[in-house]
Chain A
């Protein structure tokens, strides 16, 4: 093995360890003495991409193409760099060139699909390219991931779930497949399973900001569901008695109203309880960690949760006090629900994130 080769292998090793700066350091003397080495330039481009330097990555890949125009790797790197820079047209053109140069290589097809996924505009070409990638490399987890990402972008949850599960069968600790599968589960309303998935990612990669944000989104989804149940209960009681023939201060009205309140509180409590049990069952042993993590994820989530708990506590208290006091507590509970809704509005909606 020559000295040049060893520089490239070392750079690859550093890249695999997530150390792009070290990779660039390893490549620098090699490229200084071999500026015409297209493989070295491609590795440099890859390292720049890993370091979040898309413009430099584009420069290195373009240099590699100037040296060897039929270098499919360099064209893929150009496509990726343009994608990151937001130039979809150039990215598509570069990915298509790579595909034309090496039609038998699954990554070139995956790259074509990847451009559309990153641009969030799925075309027929992307669907076809993703399928071709899996056809060429059925044992490659990333090929299945690409198919899943295309399906996710098209909101075809079933297809996306199948593809991500296929990817995870081939590589059980694949973080992107795990994240995106959890995302699909969240979209399908399976918040507990989604939380478990995101927690699994955080266990192996505690620095994963994406998983943390998505876990926050799961917590918000769960609270929104509970909030919705309580709103419905409140609305039923209010609407049912707003058109009553009896005056609201009459004893008969008060007693019936309180009985109705007790029934509604019980039913809504059962609904909330069932939902929490479902969450717990789906999340398994990670449920406790999920609940404990909520205060650390977002302070406003805590405020929201406190308002919901306060609301329900007030309704329960209203069931067992005098009618006058019950009506007062009921109004305060309504104010808690409104405050909770304001928190929802104030709290910047944190969108879930795909890993592509």
Chain B
């Protein structure tokens, strides 16, 4: 049963959620009452708004350092799944050896392995070390899933995940150029049927997003689905690939059928370069017919179905079969580049907001991270958290993630987009200048890569 004062403060905070002193008071009471995780969450919320708030920092430190130390153990580094099966296959045939295992069973059998290797036994001998499991339990409520706003469901009778996305382009930080292009090429004609009729603008065809990996193409696709109030169906190579002759084509057809049944629906082909590879390069029988099937379905979409919007993403548009790029198919392209400064700030905010941070200045971080992809920034935050965590483990006293952790992590991480940009530069330098990559060319020139 919760204390009446806490309950009363909760109600007060619900009516005025921006009241910082109230948050801190409730946090302090919750900490005293033993709800450290909630206290940390409240303190993190205050620090997010007021990074220099000393009371919040104190509460955060108190709440974090007040963790009980029961099960102390050292971190265990597991070999990768592929390493396991390659290395252990002969041992698996021997009676005493461990069974080779897939990823799922490896996770569930981990505690047994720990017991077998005596890690827990060793842990009990040194109570001064940092309590990893207790810390995990305490902060586990703080770690939110990356995207909670879309609820995937498996459509009955198919292996495809279909979800209803509630994120919109407003949730995409920065990237104004991309949003404008999306609006002009895709969203405005869809949302203005009268104007569309007036200008005789066809809805036929899909939109191809291309750009370096980790720059948010899939996120934008979801946002488009949210913007259109449509369901979102992701189709990847693994969903389509089938060794039986004709089954891959059938899977492509089923994906489109499902999208038609669930209309309005965005059907999103991830890594379209793999699925719709140039037919001259496709030597594999399992994929030979998929490009043709894709073409058939794309040609049929506008005539047969209303409300099916076809999107695709690729890192290598130059590998996509040219037939797929012809008018009426993926004839509209949008270049999704590494995030601009505003977007980088949003990404830093997103990845740090649920972590115990103090004194983080997002603008300098955004300025210093030019060229990094969204995935790179996520990794920077991960490295920064790791540094603070390891430091806490080494010193025995927990501390918040500070600006130095992030800037040091930033210095360690180099842009993963460089190799893509090198390839893109070669495409622009040596390929036929038919206007396909005008946007890319302009960017490379601006970035002094051309």
Interface residues of A (CB under 8 A from B): 1, 5-6, 8-10, 12-13, 16-17, 19, 22, 24-25, 28-29, 31-32, 35-36, 41, 44, 48, 56, 59-60, 63, 66, 173, 199, 202-203, 206-208, 212, 286, 289, 292-293, 296
Contact = CB atoms under 8 A, between A and B. Distances in A.
B284 interface: yes
Contacts of B425: 296
Interface in B228-248: 237-238, 241-244
A203 B430 contact: yes
Contact of A206 (B89, B243, B284, B318): B318
10 contacts: A6-B243, A9-B286, A10-B243, A16-B283, A28-B102, A31-B85, A32-B101, A35-B92, A199-B430, A207-B419
Contacts of A17: 237, 274, 277, 284, 287
A206 B103 CA distance: 35
Contacts of B83: 56
Output the residue of A17, A41, A203, A286 with the most chain B CB within 10 A. A17
A296 B450 CA distance: 7
B374 to A, nearest CB: 21
B436 interface: no
B325 to A, nearest CB: 16
Contacts of B277: 17
B69 interface: no
A29 B105 CA distance: 11
A35 B102 CA distance: 13
The 10 closest A-B pairs by CB, nearest first: A9-B243, A206-B426, A16-B284, A32-B100, A35-B89, A206-B423, A207-B423, A6-B243, A202-B430, A206-B427
Contacts of B103: 28
A13 B241 contact: yes
Contacts of B102: 28-29, 32
Nearest to A18: B274
Nearest to B422: A207
Contacts of A202: 426, 429-430
Instruction: Give the residue among B99, B274, B283, B429 with the most A Cβ atoms within 10 A.
Output: B429
B125 to A, nearest CB: 35
A13 B287 contact: yes
A32 B426 CA distance: 42
Contacts of A16: 283-284, 287
Nearest to B430: A202
B431 A10 contact: no
A5 B89 CA distance: 19
B280 interface: yes
B430 A293 contact: yes
Interface string B165-177: 0000000000000
Nearest to A45: B86
B99 to A, nearest CB: 8
Nearest to A289: B430
Contacts of A199: 430
B87 interface: yes
A60 B83 CA distance: 11
B93 interface: yes
A218 to B, nearest CB: 13
Interface in B98-142: 99-103
Nearest to A211: B426
A57 to B, nearest CB: 9
Interface string B52-89: 00000000000000000000000000000111011101
Given A19-B274, A35-B89, A207-B419, A28 B284 contact: no
Interface in B245-284: 274, 277, 280-281, 283-284
Nearest to A295: B450
B90 interface: yes
B301 interface: no
Given A5-B243, A206-B430, A293-B429, A59 B86 contact: yes
A20 to B, nearest CB: 10
Contacts of B93: 35-36
Contacts of A206: 318, 423-424, 426-427, 430-431
Given A173-B280, A293-B429, A56 B101 contact: no
A8 B287 CA distance: 15
B294 to A, nearest CB: 15
Contacts of A212: 426
Nearest to B102: A29
A203 B431 contact: yes
A5 B286 CA distance: 13
Contacts of B450: 296
Contacts of B318: 206
Interface in B401-449: 419, 422-427, 429-432
Contacts of B86: 44, 48, 56, 59-60
Contacts of A25: 81-82
Contact of B82 (A19, A24, A63): A24
A332 to B, nearest CB: 32
A36 B85 CA distance: 12
B85 A292 contact: no
A19 B242 CA distance: 16
Contacts of A59: 86-87
Contact of A63 (B90, B99, B283): B90
A207 B90 CA distance: 38
B100 A31 contact: yes
A296 B92 CA distance: 53
B426 A207 contact: yes
A22 to B, nearest CB: 8
Nearest to B104: A29
A8 to B, nearest CB: 8
A289 B241 contact: no
B53 to A, nearest CB: 45
Contacts of B92: 35
Contacts of A60: 86
B426 A28 contact: no
Nearest to B88: A35
B259 to A, nearest CB: 24
A66 B91 CA distance: 13
Contacts of A41: 89
A208 B102 CA distance: 35
B211 to A, nearest CB: 14
Contact of B244 (A1, A12, A44): A1
Given A13-B241, A35-B85, A48-B86, 8 more contacts: A32-B101, A32-B102, A59-B86, A202-B429, A206-B431, A207-B419, A212-B426, A289-B429
